[in-house]
Amino acid sequence: MKPAPFDYLRAESVAHAVQSLADAGGDGKVIAGGQSLMPMMNFRLVKPSLLVDINHIPDLAGIRQQGGRLGIGALVRHRTTAADPVIARHVPVLHAAMRHVAHLTVRNRGTFCGSVCHADPAAEMPMIALLLDGTVQTATPRGGRRLPARDFFLGPLMTALEPDELVTEIEMDTLPADTGWGFEEFARRHGDYALAAVAVTVDRQDGRAAGPRIAVMGVGDRPMRMPEAEAALDGSDMGEAAIDAAVEALRATIAPNADLHASADYRRHLAGVLAGRALRGAWTRARERLAA
């Protein structure tokens, strides 16, 4: 339960970090909070030749709101995300999800961007980034990229990041005050990885659902949006029949795995129940859009 040997570098800047990653020839890893990476290194599931510590790079710990988007810097800790008043007001679905992220001590170190990069299929932050049409801003020695969250998650613990690519910020939609949202999760113990969770947003226009977004986690090899279920709801009256149709579409879309915690059928059933609750809650929260 000790990491294999590696070299360590305390990066002074983003350019310093990505050049060092490039020099490591694909064998370097970035550490921010380390709350997922360090366990994997202690188990020797990950054995980097170089560990690039970004904790001391200036200007990566900011949260900014601009033009309907919220940006979270690479060094924003879960503790900060959970307590941030801008997030609580403008991205309440993220604020609600934070209550389910690990335990308080882990939140002191762990970061939003680190959780997204770790890409655990049962982690909340990747699902939220996907729900809110997130964009991952990166840096490499060749320049940066802006990766849509929908193209970012490739599989369990796998992302579209190159070995010398550093995530500097992730941005996502803020929610207008009249947008409804819902977050429902079931875990065997508080703070543990969930068996399943569902997050939704929906706008209300002329009494009907507009642009609903539904994301799920824990029921596949990555967080997923549910376009069929979204389509089933769009323009509907959000009555029980419409929600039932969306739940059935969701259950037909997912193919959960069985493990010692739950069977595949149980997870599929659970995801539907959680989606129904999240959608009803979101519709209750949604307020009528005033015609412009």
Partner 1 sequence: MTGRADITLSVNGQSYTRRVDPRLLLSDFLRHELGLTGTHVGCEHGVCGACTILLDGRSARSCLMLAVQAHGAEVETIEGQGTVAALGPIQQAFREHHALQCGFCTPGFVMTILDMLRHHDLGDDAAIREALSGNICRCTGYEHIVNAVRALVRERGKPA
Binding site for partner 1 (CB under 8 A): 1-10, 31, 34-35, 38-39, 42-43, 51, 53, 55, 79, 102-106, 108-109, 189-191
Given the complex with partner 1, which of 6 and 266 has the nearer CB atom? 6
CB 250 within 8 A of CB 271: yes
The minimum distance between CB 106 and partner 1, in angstroms, equals 6
Task: Choose between 4 and 252: whose C-beta lies nearer to partner 1.
Answer: 4
CB of 14 to partner 1, least distance (A): 18
In angstroms, give the least distance from the CB of 290 to partner 1.
37
The CA distance from 66 to 68, in Å, is 6
Query: What is the rounded distance in angstroms from the CA atom of residue 187 to the CA atom of residue 196?
Result: 7
* Count of residues in the chain: 292
Q: Is residue 198 a contact partner of residue 181, using CB atoms and an 8 Å limit?
A: no
Q: How far is the CB of 15 from partner 1 (least distance, A)?
A: 17
> How far apart are the C-alpha atoms of 96 and 99, rounded to whole Å?
6
Give the CB-side neighbour count of residue 7, counting CA atoms within 13 A: 10
Provide the minimum distance between the beta carbon of 41 and partner 1 in the complex, in angstroms, as a whole number. 8
Nearer to partner 1, 187 or 245 (CB): 187
Rounded-to-integer distance, Cα 263 and Cα 274, Å: 16
Instruction: Name the residue nearer to partner 1 (CB basis): 106 or 264.
Output: 106
